Amino acid sequence: MAGFSRCSVASTAAKTPTSAAATFSYLIRALSPSFSSSSSTFDPETDLNRGKPPGLGTLKREPKGRNVQWAFLGCPGVGKGTYASRLSNLLGVPHIATGDLVRDELASSGPLSSQLKEIVNQGKLVSDEIIIDLLSKRLEKGEAKGESGFILDGFPRTVRQAEILEGVTDIDLVINLKLREEALLAKCLGRRICSECGGNYNVASIDIKAENGSPGMYMAPLPPPPECASKLITRPDDTEEIVKKRLRVYQTMTQPVEDFYRSRGKLVEFDLPGGILESWPKLLRALNLEDHDDKQSAAA
Protein backbone atom coordinates (compact mmCIF):
# COMPACT_ATOMS: atom_id res chain seq x y z
CA MET A 1 0.00 0.00 0.00
CA ALA A 2 1.32 3.40 -0.89
CA GLY A 3 2.54 5.69 1.87
CA PHE A 4 0.01 8.33 0.95
CA SER A 5 -3.01 6.34 1.97
CA ARG A 6 -1.40 5.62 5.31
CA CYS A 7 -0.92 9.34 5.76
CA SER A 8 -4.35 10.62 4.96
CA VAL A 9 -6.87 8.21 6.33
CA ALA A 10 -9.32 9.06 9.07
CA SER A 11 -8.27 10.43 12.40
CA THR A 12 -7.45 9.17 15.82
CA ALA A 13 -6.15 11.24 18.65
CA ALA A 14 -2.93 13.10 18.23
CA LYS A 15 -1.25 15.02 20.99
CA THR A 16 -3.12 18.21 21.92
CA PRO A 17 -3.51 20.48 20.03
CA THR A 18 -4.51 18.93 16.70
CA SER A 19 -5.10 22.00 14.56
CA ALA A 20 -2.70 24.58 13.27
CA ALA A 21 -4.63 27.37 14.97
CA ALA A 22 -4.43 25.57 18.29
CA THR A 23 -0.77 24.99 17.61
CA PHE A 24 -0.47 28.70 17.01
CA SER A 25 -1.79 29.66 20.40
CA TYR A 26 0.25 26.94 22.07
CA LEU A 27 3.42 28.05 20.35
CA ILE A 28 2.92 31.58 21.52
CA ARG A 29 2.11 30.37 25.02
CA ALA A 30 5.14 28.11 24.86
CA LEU A 31 7.32 31.16 24.63
CA SER A 32 6.14 32.49 27.95
CA PRO A 33 8.61 31.72 30.73
CA SER A 34 6.03 29.79 32.77
CA PHE A 35 5.40 27.27 29.97
CA SER A 36 6.84 23.86 30.54
CA SER A 37 6.92 21.58 27.51
CA SER A 38 6.69 17.83 27.82
CA SER A 39 10.23 17.48 26.53
CA SER A 40 11.83 20.15 28.66
CA THR A 41 13.59 17.48 30.67
CA PHE A 42 15.30 16.06 27.60
CA ASP A 43 18.78 14.94 28.49
CA PRO A 44 20.88 14.24 25.38
CA GLU A 45 23.30 12.05 27.30
CA THR A 46 20.73 9.54 28.48
CA ASP A 47 18.13 9.95 25.76
CA LEU A 48 20.65 9.36 22.99
CA ASN A 49 21.58 6.00 24.41
CA ARG A 50 17.97 4.98 24.28
CA GLY A 51 17.56 6.05 20.66
CA LYS A 52 17.12 3.51 17.90
CA PRO A 53 17.13 4.41 14.23
CA PRO A 54 13.61 4.32 12.83
CA GLY A 55 12.97 1.69 10.20
CA LEU A 56 10.37 1.96 7.49
CA GLY A 57 7.81 1.19 10.16
CA THR A 58 8.18 4.80 11.29
CA LEU A 59 5.62 5.88 8.73
CA LYS A 60 3.04 3.59 10.25
CA ARG A 61 3.12 5.64 13.45
CA GLU A 62 1.32 8.56 11.87
CA PRO A 63 -2.02 9.09 13.54
CA LYS A 64 -4.74 8.02 11.18
CA GLY A 65 -6.80 10.73 9.63
CA ARG A 66 -4.66 13.77 9.64
CA ASN A 67 -2.16 14.68 7.02
CA VAL A 68 1.53 14.16 7.56
CA GLN A 69 3.50 16.42 9.88
CA TRP A 70 7.04 15.99 8.71
CA ALA A 71 10.18 18.12 8.98
CA PHE A 72 13.39 18.31 7.00
CA LEU A 73 16.79 18.78 8.59
CA GLY A 74 20.03 19.25 6.72
CA CYS A 75 22.90 21.64 6.15
CA PRO A 76 22.55 24.76 4.00
CA GLY A 77 22.63 23.77 0.34
CA VAL A 78 21.70 20.13 0.88
CA GLY A 79 18.42 20.50 -1.00
CA LYS A 80 15.81 20.62 1.80
CA GLY A 81 13.67 23.02 -0.22
CA THR A 82 13.80 20.92 -3.39
CA TYR A 83 12.81 17.63 -1.77
CA ALA A 84 10.35 19.17 0.71
CA SER A 85 8.58 20.90 -2.15
CA ARG A 86 8.41 17.70 -4.22
CA LEU A 87 7.05 15.72 -1.27
CA SER A 88 4.55 18.45 -0.54
CA ASN A 89 3.18 18.16 -4.09
CA LEU A 90 3.13 14.41 -3.83
CA LEU A 91 1.34 14.26 -0.50
CA GLY A 92 -0.88 17.32 -0.92
CA VAL A 93 0.34 19.11 2.20
CA PRO A 94 1.86 22.58 2.42
CA HIS A 95 5.59 23.03 2.29
CA ILE A 96 6.49 25.58 4.94
CA ALA A 97 10.06 26.86 4.79
CA THR A 98 10.99 29.18 7.63
CA GLY A 99 13.79 30.63 5.47
CA ASP A 100 11.09 31.74 2.99
CA LEU A 101 9.04 33.24 5.82
CA VAL A 102 12.09 35.19 6.94
CA ARG A 103 12.82 36.37 3.39
CA ASP A 104 9.16 37.41 2.90
CA GLU A 105 9.34 39.43 6.09
CA LEU A 106 12.62 40.99 4.91
CA ALA A 107 11.07 41.97 1.61
CA SER A 108 7.99 43.44 3.27
CA SER A 109 9.96 46.33 4.84
CA GLY A 110 7.88 45.83 7.97
CA PRO A 111 9.19 46.74 11.43
CA LEU A 112 11.34 43.58 11.68
CA SER A 113 12.85 43.92 8.25
CA SER A 114 16.13 45.71 8.92
CA GLN A 115 16.81 43.71 12.09
CA LEU A 116 16.31 40.45 10.19
CA LYS A 117 18.40 41.59 7.25
CA GLU A 118 21.44 42.09 9.46
CA ILE A 119 21.06 38.71 11.17
CA VAL A 120 20.42 36.71 7.99
CA ASN A 121 23.14 38.40 5.95
CA GLN A 122 25.65 37.54 8.67
CA GLY A 123 24.67 33.87 8.51
CA LYS A 124 23.27 33.88 12.05
CA LEU A 125 20.03 32.37 13.28
CA VAL A 126 16.99 34.52 13.91
CA SER A 127 15.76 34.34 17.52
CA ASP A 128 13.46 31.47 18.48
CA GLU A 129 10.77 34.02 19.41
CA ILE A 130 10.74 35.73 16.02
CA ILE A 131 10.85 32.49 14.05
CA ILE A 132 8.04 30.92 16.07
CA ASP A 133 5.96 34.05 15.63
CA LEU A 134 6.46 33.92 11.84
CA LEU A 135 5.70 30.19 11.74
CA SER A 136 2.63 30.57 13.93
CA LYS A 137 1.20 33.26 11.67
CA ARG A 138 1.84 31.06 8.63
CA LEU A 139 0.09 28.09 10.25
CA GLU A 140 -2.85 30.25 11.22
CA LYS A 141 -3.20 31.63 7.70
CA GLY A 142 -2.99 28.08 6.31
CA GLU A 143 -5.69 26.83 8.61
CA ALA A 144 -8.00 29.63 7.56
CA LYS A 145 -7.58 28.31 4.01
CA GLY A 146 -8.35 24.74 5.12
CA GLU A 147 -4.79 23.42 5.10
CA SER A 148 -3.95 20.39 7.17
CA GLY A 149 -0.58 18.77 7.83
CA PHE A 150 2.74 20.23 6.73
CA ILE A 151 6.25 19.57 5.62
CA LEU A 152 8.51 21.89 7.54
CA ASP A 153 11.79 22.93 5.99
CA GLY A 154 14.38 24.71 8.14
CA PHE A 155 12.41 24.34 11.37
CA PRO A 156 13.23 23.33 14.04
CA ARG A 157 16.80 24.52 13.95
CA THR A 158 17.59 24.68 17.64
CA VAL A 159 16.85 22.21 20.42
CA ARG A 160 14.62 24.81 22.05
CA GLN A 161 12.54 25.10 18.86
CA ALA A 162 12.33 21.29 18.73
CA GLU A 163 11.26 21.09 22.37
CA ILE A 164 8.58 23.71 21.87
CA LEU A 165 7.26 22.01 18.74
CA GLU A 166 7.30 18.59 20.41
CA GLY A 167 5.40 20.10 23.31
CA VAL A 168 2.55 21.34 21.12
CA THR A 169 2.10 18.80 18.33
CA ASP A 170 3.30 15.43 17.08
CA ILE A 171 5.93 15.49 14.40
CA ASP A 172 5.65 12.10 12.73
CA LEU A 173 8.92 11.96 10.90
CA VAL A 174 12.08 14.00 10.45
CA ILE A 175 14.12 13.49 7.31
CA ASN A 176 17.78 14.31 7.69
CA LEU A 177 19.32 14.98 4.29
CA LYS A 178 23.06 14.56 4.06
CA LEU A 179 25.61 15.50 1.45
CA ARG A 180 29.38 15.79 1.45
CA GLU A 181 30.64 19.15 2.61
CA GLU A 182 32.48 20.04 -0.62
CA ALA A 183 29.18 19.63 -2.50
CA LEU A 184 27.26 21.81 0.00
CA LEU A 185 29.42 24.86 -0.58
CA ALA A 186 29.34 24.46 -4.37
CA LYS A 187 25.56 24.06 -4.31
CA CYS A 188 25.02 27.23 -2.26
CA LEU A 189 27.36 29.23 -4.49
CA GLY A 190 25.62 27.89 -7.61
CA ARG A 191 22.09 28.58 -6.37
CA ARG A 192 20.00 30.96 -8.50
CA ILE A 193 16.46 32.11 -7.87
CA CYS A 194 14.00 33.54 -10.36
CA SER A 195 13.07 36.97 -9.06
CA GLU A 196 9.67 36.67 -10.68
CA CYS A 197 8.35 33.15 -10.00
CA GLY A 198 10.65 32.24 -7.07
CA GLY A 199 11.85 29.05 -8.86
CA ASN A 200 15.10 27.56 -7.56
CA TYR A 201 17.86 26.59 -9.98
CA ASN A 202 21.52 25.75 -9.77
CA VAL A 203 24.37 26.49 -12.14
CA ALA A 204 26.92 24.33 -10.31
CA SER A 205 28.16 21.18 -11.96
CA ILE A 206 29.49 19.06 -9.13
CA ASP A 207 31.89 16.29 -9.99
CA ILE A 208 33.65 14.82 -6.99
CA LYS A 209 36.17 12.12 -7.80
CA ALA A 210 36.24 8.86 -5.88
CA GLU A 211 38.99 9.02 -3.26
CA ASN A 212 40.25 6.88 -0.38
CA GLY A 213 37.30 4.53 -0.54
CA SER A 214 34.68 7.31 -0.80
CA PRO A 215 32.62 6.99 -3.96
CA GLY A 216 32.62 9.76 -6.54
CA MET A 217 29.53 11.90 -7.01
CA TYR A 218 28.12 13.84 -9.92
CA MET A 219 25.37 16.43 -9.63
CA ALA A 220 24.26 18.02 -12.87
CA PRO A 221 23.31 21.71 -12.93
CA LEU A 222 19.61 22.50 -12.69
CA PRO A 223 19.21 25.13 -15.40
CA PRO A 224 16.30 27.60 -15.39
CA PRO A 225 13.66 27.45 -18.11
CA PRO A 226 14.13 30.15 -20.81
CA GLU A 227 11.44 32.42 -19.30
CA CYS A 228 13.39 32.67 -16.01
CA ALA A 229 16.91 32.84 -17.45
CA SER A 230 17.13 36.63 -17.54
CA LYS A 231 15.59 37.12 -14.08
CA LEU A 232 17.96 35.13 -11.93
CA ILE A 233 19.25 36.47 -8.63
CA THR A 234 21.49 35.07 -5.89
CA ARG A 235 20.72 35.16 -2.18
CA PRO A 236 22.85 37.75 -0.35
CA ASP A 237 23.76 35.07 2.25
CA ASP A 238 25.07 32.67 -0.43
CA THR A 239 28.61 34.08 -0.47
CA GLU A 240 31.52 31.77 0.36
CA GLU A 241 32.24 33.47 3.69
CA ILE A 242 28.63 33.43 4.85
CA VAL A 243 27.92 29.88 3.65
CA LYS A 244 30.92 28.65 5.66
CA LYS A 245 29.59 30.53 8.67
CA ARG A 246 26.10 28.99 8.17
CA LEU A 247 27.66 25.53 8.01
CA ARG A 248 29.38 26.18 11.36
CA VAL A 249 26.16 27.51 12.86
CA TYR A 250 24.40 24.36 11.65
CA GLN A 251 26.98 22.17 13.37
CA THR A 252 26.63 23.95 16.67
CA MET A 253 22.96 24.81 16.80
CA THR A 254 21.17 22.28 14.58
CA GLN A 255 23.14 19.06 14.78
CA PRO A 256 21.88 18.60 18.36
CA VAL A 257 18.36 18.70 16.86
CA GLU A 258 19.26 15.58 14.86
CA ASP A 259 20.12 13.86 18.15
CA PHE A 260 16.86 15.13 19.67
CA TYR A 261 14.78 13.33 17.02
CA ARG A 262 17.11 10.34 16.74
CA SER A 263 16.62 9.67 20.42
CA ARG A 264 12.85 9.76 19.90
CA GLY A 265 13.03 7.27 17.03
CA LYS A 266 11.73 9.82 14.50
CA LEU A 267 14.83 10.48 12.41
CA VAL A 268 15.29 9.01 8.94
CA GLU A 269 18.84 9.57 7.69
CA PHE A 270 19.18 9.95 3.94
CA ASP A 271 22.54 10.27 2.21
CA LEU A 272 21.90 11.92 -1.14
CA PRO A 273 23.56 9.73 -3.76
CA GLY A 274 23.71 12.49 -6.42
CA GLY A 275 21.37 14.89 -8.20
CA ILE A 276 17.57 14.89 -8.23
CA LEU A 277 17.14 12.22 -10.90
CA GLU A 278 19.16 9.75 -8.91
CA SER A 279 18.11 10.83 -5.41
CA TRP A 280 14.34 11.33 -5.74
CA PRO A 281 13.38 7.69 -6.47
CA LYS A 282 15.69 6.51 -3.71
CA LEU A 283 14.22 8.97 -1.24
CA LEU A 284 10.72 7.78 -2.12
CA ARG A 285 11.84 4.21 -1.57
CA ALA A 286 13.38 5.13 1.79
CA LEU A 287 10.06 6.71 2.78
CA ASN A 288 8.06 3.82 1.39
CA LEU A 289 6.26 6.16 -1.01
CA GLU A 290 7.33 4.85 -4.39
CA ASP A 291 3.96 3.21 -5.19
CA HIS A 292 2.27 6.53 -4.72
CA ASP A 293 4.66 8.26 -7.11
CA ASP A 294 3.99 5.56 -9.73
CA LYS A 295 0.24 6.13 -9.46
CA GLN A 296 0.62 9.89 -9.69
CA SER A 297 2.87 9.63 -12.75
CA ALA A 298 0.44 7.23 -14.41
CA ALA A 299 -2.46 9.59 -13.71
CA ALA A 300 -0.61 12.66 -15.01
> Which of 68, 63, 62, 100 lies closest to 81, judged by CA?
100
| CB closer to ligand ADP, 149 vs 154 | 154
Size of the site for ligand ADP (CB under 6 A): 16
Q: Which residue has the closest beta carbon to ligand ADP? A: 99
Q: How far apart are CA 44 and CA 258, in angstroms?
A: 11
Strands (E), the chain: 69-73, 95-97, 150-153, 173-178, 191-194, 200-202, 206-208, 217-219, 232-233, 267-271
Told to judge if 157 belongs to the known catalytic residues of this protein, a careful annotator would answer: yes
Q: Does 176 bind ligand ADP (CB under 6 A)?
A: no
Contact window for ligand ADP (CB under 6 A) among 83-91, 123-131, 264-272, 290-298:
123-131
Q: Does 224 bind ligand ADP (CB under 6 A)?
A: no
Told to judge if 191 belongs to the known catalytic residues of this protein, a careful annotator would answer: yes
- Degrees, nearest 5: CA angle 151-156-162: 115
| Catalytic hit among 235, 244, 245, 282 | 235
Q: Which residues inside 152-171 make contact with ligand ADP, applying CB under 6 A?
A: 154-155, 157, 161
Out of 120, 159, 194, 206, which residue is the one contacting ligand ADP (CB under 6 A)? 120
Out of 3, 54, 94, 99, which residue is the one contacting ligand ADP (CB under 6 A)? 99
Q: Does 119 bind ligand ADP (CB under 6 A)?
A: yes
Q: Which residues inside 257-296 make contact with ligand ADP, applying CB under 6 A?
A: none
Phi-psi region of 21 (alpha: psi -120 to 50; beta: other; left: phi over 0): alpha
Identity at 244, one-letter amino acid code: K
| CB closer to ligand ADP, 133 vs 293 | 133
Question: Would you say the C-alpha torsion 58, 60, 62, 68 has a positive or negative sign?
Answer: positive
Contact window for ligand ADP (CB under 6 A) among 61-69, 120-128, 207-215, 255-263:
120-128
| CB closer to ligand ADP, 219 vs 289 | 219
225: which residues sit within 8 A by CB, 6+ positions away? 199
> Which of 180, 203, 195, 179 lies closest to 227, judged by CA?
195
Told to judge if 29 belongs to the known catalytic residues of this protein, a careful annotator would answer: no
- Cα 70 from chain centroid (whole Å): 8
Residues making contact with ligand ADP (CB under 6 A): 76, 98-99, 102, 119-120, 124-126, 131, 154-155, 157, 161, 237, 246
Catalytic residue numbers read 80, 157, 191, 235, 246
